Amino acid sequence: MEKIKVEICCGTACYLLGAAKLMNLEEHLHESLKDKVDIQARTCLGLCERENLGGAPFVMFNGTEIMSNASLEKVLDRLNLLIEGDK
Ligand code: FES
């Protein structure tokens, strides 16, 4: 199974609106999931400038799926679904 890539935007807008907390994501991952997820911090993903995507902070999954208003809880829920869907 390929790792799920999670890019956390740490640009100014995202950082101020909660990305700092998201950077603790790995600590909140269940032990069995840690080797299945590749977490990366990114500079501005350019999403905060687009009007129709919702608000910061933004997280990108596998380079294509955008999550707006991301929180630790939302990201963990999404990861669980993505990993279960891969079984
Ligand atoms: S600061 Fe996060 S998308 Fe721009």
pTM recorded for the entire structure: 0.92
List, for residues 13-69, the tens digit of each pLDDT value: 999 999 999 999 999 998 988 999 999 999 999 999 998 889 999 999 999 999 999
Residue 15 lies in a domain: yes
84, two tokens: 């279960």
Residue 60 lies in a domain: yes
Tell which one of 7, 8, 14 to mutate to probe ligand 1, the residue whose CB is within 8 A of the most ligand atoms.
Answer: 14
Query: 15 C-alpha vs ligand 1 centroid, how far in Å?
Result: 8
pLDDT of 20 reads: 93
Of 59, 85, 77, 43, nearest to 5 (Cα)?
Answer: 59
Residue 82 lies in a domain: no
Residue 85: pLDDT band (50, 70, 90) is confident
Residue 83: pLDDT band (50, 70, 90) is confident
54, two tokens: 């919702």
CB 13 near ligand 1, within 6 Å = yes
Residue closest via CA to ligand 1's atom 4 equals 44
Residue 87 lies in a domain: no
17, two tokens: 């609106």
**At 49, which CATH number?**
3.40.30.10
Quick one: which atom of ligand 1 is closest to the CA of 57? 2
Collect all residues with Cβ–Cβ distance below 8 Å to 15 and sequence separation of at least 6.
Answer: 9, 57
pLDDT of 86 reads: 64
Quick one: which atom of ligand 1 is closest to the CA of 45? 3
Residue 80 lies in a domain: no
Structural domains of the chain, count? 1
Distances in Å between the Cα of 18 and the Cα atoms of 42, 63, 69 are: 14, 20, 9
Residue 32 lies in a domain: yes
Residue 76 lies in a domain: no
Residues spanned by the domain of 31: 4-71
Residue 82: pLDDT band (50, 70, 90) is very high
